[in-house]
């Protein structure tokens, strides 16, 4: 009966342990992201069942307003409107239209009015129709992420740049000559306050991707261990 020996070298062993530890860490990280999205989805569903409330003049705890349904009244100011680029709806490229709304108390809040298709010539911007006068806006609070990489130039004071790659709240606040609340209202699909296509994403939509990635990383960890064993188990010549 053949005999086998297992005598791995120090460097291959250390390399295997490092690779396995890294893969497990990445797998756990993806699982954590999936759990975080499940928690956000639960919060989202709960907030949808609540009645809309008015926005306060000052917001102390911004996170407490995530996904809250709100109702405000004011008029749109299209001079400082932005078009959020690279937004896809049913596999068609376009923009999300984000317009500041001047509230009755004089403050402003950004309203995401929905998606419009991009023109054939992407160097031009699409025409956006905006209703005049007072509007009653009802929607859900969106807190844009501040974790993104951008090479956008700083806002020039003499000329407004209407097309943005990311919803950068800090940049926006520094670029406009008025105070703006640090959140965006996503206009309800049933609202008549100048909206466009509004198929807003749900937090749960990308959970399966994170779960799939976590299984993939755990599979890599297992593969490294199997390869390590196969390579280092040899038939003995004794």
Over the stretch 121-162, which tens digit does the pLDDT of each residue have? 877 888 899 999 999 999 999 999 877 555 555 544 457 889
pLDDT at 151: 54
- The distance from CA 67 to its chain's CA centroid, rounded to whole angstroms, is 13
* C-alpha neighbours within 13 Å on the C-beta side of residue 80: 24
CA–CA separation, 117 and 200 (whole Å): 16
Backbone angles phi, psi at 138, to 5 degrees: -125, 135
Over the stretch 59-116, which tens digit does the pLDDT of each residue have? 889 988 998 999 999 999 999 999 999 998 988 999 999 999 999 888 899 999 999 9
What single-letter DSSP state applies at residue 220? Answer: H
Q: Give me the helices (H) in the chain, please.
A: 10-48, 169-175, 207-232
Q: Pairing mode, if any, of strands 82-89 and 163-164? A: parallel
Residue bearing tokens 């974790």: 147
pTM metric for this prediction: 0.73
pLDDT at 94: 94
Over the stretch 161-184, which tens digit does the pLDDT of each residue have? 899 999 999 999 999 999 999 999
> How far apart, in Å, are the Cα atoms of 188 and each of 106, 114, 130, 155, 236?
23, 9, 16, 30, 72
Residue bearing tokens 């298709």: 117
> How far apart, in Å, are the Cα atoms of 48 and each of 15, 114, 140?
50, 18, 8
- Answer yes or no: are the C-beta atoms of 166 and 87 closer than 8 Å: no
- Answer yes or no: are the C-beta atoms of 103 and 35 closer than 8 Å: no
- Answer yes or no: are the C-beta atoms of 58 and 109 closer than 8 Å: no
Q: Hey, CA dihedral for 193, 194, 197, 200, is it positive or negative? A: negative
């Amino acid at each position: 009966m053949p005999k086998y020996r297992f005598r791995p070298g120090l460097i291959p062993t250390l390399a295997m342990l490092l690779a396995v530890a890294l893969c497990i860490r990445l797998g756990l990280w993806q699982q954590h992201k999936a759990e975080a999205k499940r928690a956000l989805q639960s919060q989202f569903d709960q907030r949808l069942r609540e009645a809309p409330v008015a926005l306060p003049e000052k917001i102390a705890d911004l996170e407490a307003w995530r996904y809250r349904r709100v109702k405000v009244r004011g008029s749109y100011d299209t001079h400082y409107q932005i078009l959020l680029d690279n937004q896809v709806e049913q596999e068609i490229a376009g923009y999300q239209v984000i317009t500041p709304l001047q509230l009755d108390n004089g403050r402003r809040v950004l309203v995401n009015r929905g998606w419009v298709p991009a023109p054939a010539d992407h160097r031009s911007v699409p025409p956006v129709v905006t209703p005049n006068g007072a509007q009653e806006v009802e929607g859900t609070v969106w807190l844009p992420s501040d974790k993104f990489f951008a090479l956008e130039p700083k806002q020039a004071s003499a000329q407004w740049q209407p097309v943005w790659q990311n919803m950068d709240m800090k940049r926006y606040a520094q670029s406009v000559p008025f105070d703006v609340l640090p959140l965006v209202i996503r206009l309800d699909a049933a609202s008549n306050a100048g909206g466009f296509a509004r198929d807003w994403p749900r937090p749960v939509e990308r959970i399966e991707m994170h779960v799939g990635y976590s299984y993939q990383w755990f599979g890599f960890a297992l593969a490294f261990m199997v390869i390590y064993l196969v390579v280092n188990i040899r038939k003995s010549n004794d």
